[in-house]
Amino acid sequence: MATSMVCLVALCLLSPLLLAGAVVGNPGYGGLFPQFYDHSCPKAKEIVHSIVAQAVARETRMAASLVRLHFHDCFVKGCDASVLLDNSSSIVSEKGSNPNLNSLRGFEVVDQIKVALETACPGTVSCADILALAARDSTVLVGGPYWDVPLGRRDSLGASIQGSNNDIPAPNNTLPTIITKFNRLGLNVVDVVALSGGHTIGLSRCTSFRQRLYNQSGNGLADSTLDVSYAAQLRQGCPRSGSDNNLFPLDVVSSTKFDNFYFKNILAGRGLLSSDEVLLTKSAETAALVKAYANDVHLFFQHFAQSMVNMGNIMPLTGSQGEIRKDCRRLNNDH
């Protein structure tokens, strides 16, 4: 009974937020629609799925990497594949930004998908749409929800390393900063918590959470919201200095399965990043969502799927804007 009460309370708090979320992802999706390639490249979705499935079979972690690639694309200038551009005479690549350097991965999988699509339907399917489809397929392949991906995005003619450094939510950002970064792009608090649930899969580097283990608020003490035995376990592989790139599961219980243990872990003081933990400790509104998702995996899946559509709808280039890149790493006129 107690559990269902928590859920009811959380859902009562949620209803106005959900309505707001529904507006962002309403039918039409800013000119995008799931059937966009049905005539111009009927096998597009099948080709993407097949290559993503092979990549995830080779390495489960790739599912999380491809979801993150879409996220880091959409938060900078919208979902326009700007994140995929390499350095060139006209481009300073987003790959060199603080959130992305030595961290963002999956580019070779995108290249492989692009080559297959260019063979099947030259100059038709955008790199931005490849990222959106690969994120959905990755989620499903590791046990998460399915959603129809609105399509028709085009690819950017530039990149923004400044945007990449400033606009992507960081592990040590305060909760108000994280919410502001989402709000600026038309996303709300439900999107913040639901999309944070993407941390149910994947790994994070020691450098992203070290301060929680040794000096959370400048007083030389560990983060008091972190479970003591979990913190001790983390310190073994994440010393005060060095070992920056040592990897740890974001979901300590089931890091290769898309489920709701991420939220259960947060309730037990076993969220890895500060940005995970603050969802519980710094706002009643986000805490209610954490508890609701921990109690109801179906609710989490439903909200995650809708929030991924909302995120995928951030400022897409459509119609004659941008271009359809032949190679996702460079502009067509750079060939």
Closest by Cα among 214, 186, 164, 256 to 23: 186
Place of tokens 């003490």: 221
Give the whole-angstrom CA distance, residue 307 versus residue 294.
17
169 is in an annotated binding site: yes
Closest by Cα among 34, 31, 5, 30 to 305: 34
46 is in an annotated binding site: no
User: For 248, what's the count of Cα atoms within 13 Å in the CB-facing half-sphere?
Assistant: 23
- The sign of the torsion formed by the CA atoms of 305, 306, 307, 309 equals positive
Give the whole-angstrom CA distance, residue 155 versus residue 332.
10
303 is in an annotated binding site: no
User: For the chain, first and last CA: distance in Å?
Assistant: 64
259 is in an annotated binding site: yes
Q: Is 39 a catalytic residue?
A: no
Angle, CA of 200, 205 and 208, to the nearest 5°:
90
Residue 246 phi, psi (nearest 5): -60, 140
Give the whole-angstrom CA distance, residue 171 versus residue 160.
20
192 is in an annotated binding site: no
76 is in an annotated binding site: yes
Instruction: Tally Cβ neighbours within 10 Å of residue 158.
Output: 13
C-beta separation of 277 from 223 below 8 A: yes
281 is in an annotated binding site: no
Residue 249 phi, psi (nearest 5): -65, 135
327 is in an annotated binding site: no
- Beta strands 203-205 and 247-249: pairing type? antiparallel
80 is in an annotated binding site: yes
And the tokens for 37? 């390639």
251 is in an annotated binding site: yes
277 is in an annotated binding site: no
Instruction: Tally Cβ neighbours within 10 Å of residue 54.
Output: 12
Q: Which of 72, 298, 303, 335 is catalytic?
A: 72
Binding residues: 73, 76, 78, 80, 82, 94, 169, 199-200, 251, 259
- Catalytically active residues, by annotation: 72
Binding residues for Ca(2+): 73, 76, 78, 80, 82, 94, 200, 251, 259
Binding residues for substrate: 169
Binding residues for heme b: 199
